Every structure is written in C-alpha cells, then in structure tokens.
Amino acid sequence: MSAHVEFPRPYESAPGRFTVDLAFPAPSKRRAKQHHDVAWALADVHGVEAATPFKLNPRWSFYKEMCGTDERYGGLDDRRLTVQGDAGAVAGYLVALERVLDEVEALATRAVRVFGAWKRSAAAEEFLEYEDASTMRVRVREFRADVLHALAQRLGARTRPVEARSSSRPLWEQHGAVAEEVWAAVGGVDLERADDSAVTALRARMVPAVVAEAERLARAEAARVEAERLELERVELFEQAHAAMLREADEVDAVRAEEDGQEGLFPVSVARPALVVPPPMPVKPRRAPWPKPRPMAERFPDGTTHVAIPRAQVEEFSASLAGVLLPSVDAERRLFAPAA
C-alpha cells in the first residue's frame, strides 16, 4: 500500500456496486488536500464516482456561534474521499491511484532538486543576498508544495499555458514553469495504466470466492439456456423446410397420379421416411498458417545461390565413405563368389 493513501477493503454497497473510503495521511493538511485533488482528477479517467464527505467541527457549539466566533459547524473533509463504482473499475482505480501518487511525489522531489541546482548557481546570487538557512528551508518547503499543487492541477487539465523560466525572477516564484519542465522531462504520468495482477488480487479481496463461484455458475447456466434455445430454433427451421418440401412433392405427385389414373393408391407422402435432423456441424479450429520460406537474398546474403565446399573437405569425406563401404562390398563378393 502506498504511503500517501490508505483505504480499507471495498464493500458492496449495492448489487454489483462497491464503495471504498480513501484517507490521505499526509502530515500537512495542504499536502493531503493536493493528494485529494490527484485522486479526484483520477476518478474521471477510470469511470468511478468520487465524493468528498462532510466533517463536523468538534469545537463548534451553539453558544460560540451566538457569540460571533469564527468556528464553523463543519465542512468538506479534504483528508477523505469516497469512491463508488463496479468491481473492475474500483479495483483498477485503486491500483492506478497508488502508482500515480508515487509518481507525482517523485516529480515534486525532482523539482526540489532543480531548485537546489539553481540555488548553487551564479544566477541565484542576487536573489539569495538577504536569505539565510531558515528562510531557505521555508522557501524549499513552499516551493515543493506549490509544485505539487501545479502537478495536481496538471492531472485535472485545469492549467493554463505557463511561460518558460525567466532569469529575472527567483525560482520560488516560477513553480509552474518548473512543474512543466519536470513533467516534460519524464514524459508525463500515465493515468490509465494498472497492473493486471494487482487488479485481479484486489478484486479477489472485494468479491468473495462464494460470490465469484455463484457468478460463474450463473454465466454457465445462461450459456446452457442460450444453447438450448438455439438448438430448438435450428430443429424448428429444419421441420419447416421439410414440411415445405413435402407439400411441394405431394402437389407434384397428385398431378402425376391424376394424369396416370392412379388416384386410388396410397399417398406417396406415407412412404417417405421421417425427418432426421442432423447434429450441428462442429466448428473446425483454424490452423496457424505455414511460415513463408525466407527469400533467397536472406538465405544467401552475398548474392550466391550455392555453397562452395573446399576440395580437401570433399576428399576427406570420400575417404571416410570408402572406408565404410569397401569392406562390406568385399564381404559380399566373397559370400556370393562361385565355388572353385
């Protein structure tokens, strides 16, 4: 599980619909809000519904409100997010969310390294004249938070075009430009990719084995019923075609019998055999195509169509072959030679 988001096992809030309550345990409330924004932007990509729950203020009271204090009754809890959807969508969303949060945090850390390199360069001397160690720690912390906020907005596609970095301003005022630089350096963040094995494991936690087996049996029963329906339709079509052929044959036989004067004989349709519906033809599996032979140019790259064998190798092979065949030929001659 990612260190930036926590979630319990999703539960089934309705038939086929699952709900999970996300929690963002970042120490800073602002950083948790940025993780919340990333999760909110990712919900539209994976087709799940997201909602921020309401949280009551424990310090609020009716008397404080009557006295005109600033204590509010409550508000949206940015440290939590409720996500709903079907099992596959929720599982894919949760697996992708852990990876996306880790990658966005890695981009923010990369931006801090860019800030450190700028701080050590000659271009930053005029801006660091009145800065000390304590103020620079604050600058770095605020810069990282601003970059993370810009990246969260970048995921939600709510950003406007940002100008390139300028040397006339300090870098902590250009967090948007640095965020675009680190985003372009890694090629962005893939919001849709999710590991199939992790999605399958998470879905197995969501859907118990009994439910999965019941769904499999239900699908098998539906397939069996559909196969029976198709078989009944096939037999009915055969019977209709057979009845039409019998009617046509009876009409032809009646005309011929009337012309021959044999109306009193038994009808020809009685002597015809009963209909036998053939079984359905099996579906022949398709064979893989034979591999095509390689072109002559690939087999002989040098342009030749023959292989030259050295003369010494041919003579060596002939000598070895003679050593094997000649003794057997001599033995055969001695065997079939006429007696003296």
- For 3-38, the pLDDT digits (tens) are 788 888 888 888 888 899 999 988 888 888 888 888
β-bridge mates for residue 76, sequence order? 54
Q: Is the pLDDT of residue 87 over 80?
A: yes
| pLDDT, average across residues 277-291 | 72
Q: What is the dihedral of CA 71, 72, 73, 76, to 10 degrees?
A: -130
What predicted TM-score, i.e. pTM, was given to this entire model? 0.56
Burial of 82 (0-12, 13-18, 19+ CB in 10 A): middle
| pLDDT, average across residues 34-57 | 87
Q: What is the pLDDT of residue 216?
A: 80
Q: Which two tokens stand for residue 99?
A: 């990876």
Q: What is the pLDDT of residue 226?
A: 92
| pLDDT, average across residues 81-108 | 89
DSSP states of 283-332 as a string?
PPPPPPPPPPPPPHHHHSTTS-SS----HHHHHHHHHHHHHHHHHHHHHH
CA-CA distance, 114 to 170, in Å (whole number)?
A: 13
Q: Is the pLDDT of residue 177 over 80?
A: yes
CA-CA distance, 123 to 39, in Å (whole number)?
A: 37
Q: Is the pLDDT of residue 332 over 60?
A: no
Res. 64 pLDDT band, cuts 50 70 90: low
Res. 287 pLDDT band, cuts 50 70 90: confident
As a whole-number percent, the residues of the chain with pLDDT over 70 amount to: 74
Q: What is the pLDDT of residue 269?
A: 60
pLDDT in tens, 114-132: 888 888 888 888 888 888 8
Name the residue with higher pLDDT: 165 or 179: 179
Name the residue with higher pLDDT: 277 or 185: 185
Residue 338's SS3 state is coil
CA-CA distance, 22 to 263, in Å (whole number)?
A: 89
Name the residue with higher pLDDT: 304 or 137: 137
| pLDDT, average across residues 127-156 | 85
DSSP states of 188-252 as a string?
---SS---HHHHHHHHHHHS-HHHHHHHHHHHHHHHHHHHHHHHHHHHHHHHHHHHHHHHHHHHH
Where do the structural domains in the chain lie, given as residue ranges?
Answer: 11-206, 209-271
Q: Is the pLDDT of residue 214 over 60?
A: yes
Average pLDDT, the chain: 78
| pLDDT, average across residues 278-306 | 66
Q: What is the pLDDT of residue 69?
A: 65
